[in-house]
Chains A and B, each alone.
Chain A
Amino acid sequence: MSYRRLLDRWLGVMLSLIGVVATLWLGFTGQLALYIHPRYFAFTVIMAVIAAVLALAAFALVPQAMVPQDPHGPGHDHASGSGHDDAGKRRRRRLGAAGSTLIVAAAVAGLLVLPPATLSTATVNQRDLNGAASTLSRDEAIELVGADYTTFTMKDWVSLLRQGAGQEFLAGKTATVTGFVTPDKSDPENVFFTARFVLTCCAVDARPIGLPVYSPGWQDRFETDSWVTVSGGFETNPSQISGETLVMVPDSITAVPEPDSPYVY
């Protein structure tokens, strides 16, 4: 069987298997959380197993079952086999085969060769940090005001600041948060954000949130995108040029490894 015919027939199954192997491996090594919300874990793994069974059944049975002409194929960019063998058609089929090979190569590289990674400051810059989409409703933030602040997560603190919790509420309260370092756009010398991404479905909809930290010369000690745990209280921002009104003034900043579950939900 020619390479093109082989590719036409097995392209979908190959791409499925690449996706299935990547999904199951991510699930097995506990890294699915880098890409999707935990509520999808079980469903994703179960469907991957079902697809693996179907793909294996296809390998076992399709050579007997498949007819050479594929009525679904002629319209599809990467399929062929309609039997109209003029020169233009052959050229298109060659291009289609090259395109299909490229997709498989890209899928293998992205899903099976490169190490899984979290989003970085490059994506923070493409999206509004603590931006338009509210992370918590106003009611939830009001409930937070009376709650035990020692259990507050970064999302809680960000919500409180966004809802305009004043200095009198924040006075004397110490926050401890873990996130990655990303510079404040208005005063990158003196202020950085301890940031996390909030996921609704998957990494594509990740919205960055973060708490501003006043720490002149932080670049000498921490790299952008490295993970830190910051502990400190909130004060009026000493920086004259930063756009942030309130900042954390840290008692301690400790470099930590990236957590297993880097996103918040």
Chain B
Amino acid sequence: MPGRARRPAMGLMVGLAVIGVLLALRILSPATGQATWLADAARDFVSLSISVVIESLPFVFLGIVLSIGVQIWLPEGFLVRRLPKSPALRRPVLSLLGMLLPVCECGNVPLARGLIVRGLTVSESMTFLFAAPILNPVTIITTQQAFGWDNGILVSRIAGGFLIANLIGWIYSRHPRPEALLTPRFQEECSMEDHAGQATGKVGRSVQLFVRETGAMMPALFIGAGIAGLIQVGVPRDVLVSVGSSPVWSVAALMVLAFVVAVCSNVDAFFILSFGATFMPGSIVAFLVFGPMIDVKMLALLRTTFTAKTLLQLTVVVALCSAALGLAVNYVL
């Protein structure tokens, strides 16, 4: 592999040089004043998008640092060994494992694959996979920071995520041949990951995980921030208000948005916060429950592990449950 022989000191110099160039660019660019050649709306689009990035970045980094700690620095099997033996108890406990493995949904797919290899059933790993992005401390903190305790959004998100993940686990635990749910390529990729893990020391694996996690999350975050800014500036307010005030259409609209924008669950509360004033609380809950479980990016990631038919079933079940939850919040609470 090219570059293998490069020494750490050389790499460090390259890193410092990159930071130096970026810093010089920022210092040499105008620090104040307005880019008057940009229309007001375009300037506000930039400001809104940047604020999503600046607000979300520390939480994304926190999630990555915690996930490095749990995946690499905790002893192997530390968590799995302590699970209850009874399947009925294992699933609820597994869905709460996200509290200890605070990674966002992109990081959970490799983790869930690892869990299957270590002897968990397919349905148990699904329970973990769908519960963990919602029932993890970073997601709960950011949702609380964004919405507080208003309108039951935080509680509905946590309870809804727990119930839907366990429902999925229960449904698939009744499947006669669970291995048929998995793609043939999956085993091969798992063993590759294990091999990669053994290849270097803990520090090396930690930075490797940092590179991989940022590689998965940052593009999604920047694209998501851009879309958030664009919708705020570009979609006429009348349209947002009329869709957002309908109990049914608001839920449908935000679920479609969740599917398309695919923002990580760690920071999706900040993304959707701007809709809080115009959209009904149930639609916000549907967004916050559906998005972490199913979106375009998750389907692409899950396709590495599950067959297309399984993913279609999962999407339908999760979408129906999220919609029901959203409508219940809109009509009942």
Contact = CB atoms under 8 A, between A and B. Distances in A.
Interface stretch (A139-147, A203-211, A248-256): A203-211
B35 A15 contact: no
B79 interface: no
A62 B22 contact: no
Interface string B187-198: 001101101100
Given A56-B16, A72-B110, A122 B44 contact: yes
A141 B59 CA distance: 35
Interface in B267-310: 270-271, 273-274, 276-277, 297, 300-304
Contacts of A13: 210-211, 214-215
Interface stretch (A21-29, A149-157, A227-235): A21-29
Contacts of A29: 31
B216 interface: yes
Contact of B207 (A16, A26, A54, A133): A54
B8 A61 contact: yes
B49 interface: yes
B226 interface: yes
Given A107-B222, A111-B50, A12 B26 contact: no
A161 interface: no
Q: Which residue, A11, A54, A59, A118, has most C-beta atoms of chain B within 10 A?
A: A59
B215 A71 contact: no
A123 B52 contact: no
B31 to A, nearest CB: 6
A195 to B, nearest CB: 14
B217 interface: yes
A123 B44 contact: yes
A105 B215 CA distance: 16
Contacts of B80: none
Interface stretch (A30-38, A164-172, A212-220, A236-244): A30-38
Given A50-B61, A123-B44, A61 B207 contact: yes
Interface residues of A, number: 95
A1 B12 contact: no
A21 B274 contact: no
A225 B43 CA distance: 13
Contact residues on B (Cβ < 8 Å of other chain), bracket: 35 or more
Given A43-B58, A50-B61, A59-B11, A67 B237 contact: no
A202 B237 contact: no
A137 interface: no
Q: Which residue, B32, B58, B213, B303, has most C-beta atoms of chain A within 10 A?
A: B58
B192 A127 contact: no
Interface in A49-69: 50-52, 54-69
Nearest to A14: B18
Given A1-B2, A9-B211, A25-B23, A75 B301 contact: yes
A103 B188 CA distance: 32
Contact of B3 (A1, A56, A67): A1
A62 B7 CA distance: 10
A76 interface: yes
A200 interface: yes
Interface string A91-109: 0000000011001001110
A55 to B, nearest CB: 7
B175 interface: no
A12 B219 contact: yes
A121 interface: yes
A65 B219 contact: no
B55 interface: yes
B41 interface: yes
A37 to B, nearest CB: 8
A17 B19 contact: yes
Nearest to B35: A114
A77 B219 contact: yes
A201 interface: yes
B90 interface: no
Contact of B31 (A9, A62, A115, A125): A115
A119 interface: yes
A136 interface: no
Contact of B196 (A10, A71, A74, A78): A71
Contacts of A59: 11-12, 14-15, 18
Contacts of A79: 215-216
A118 B32 CA distance: 11
A76 B216 contact: yes
A48 B58 contact: yes
A87 interface: no
B208 A120 contact: no
Contacts of A68: 1
B53 A19 contact: yes
A110 B46 contact: yes
Closest 7 CB pairs of A and B: A12-B214, A59-B15, A12-B215, A47-B58, A65-B204, A203-B51, A75-B301
Interface of A: 1, 8-23, 25-26, 29, 31-32, 34-36, 40, 43-44, 46-48, 50-52, 54-79, 99-100, 103, 106-108, 110-123, 125-128, 131-133, 200-205, 207, 225
Given A17-B22, A50-B65, 5 more contacts: A12-B211, A12-B213, A57-B207, A106-B222, A110-B46
13 contacts: A11-B215, A12-B213, A12-B216, A12-B219, A13-B210, A13-B215, A36-B55, A44-B58, A68-B1, A76-B301, A112-B25, A119-B44, A205-B276
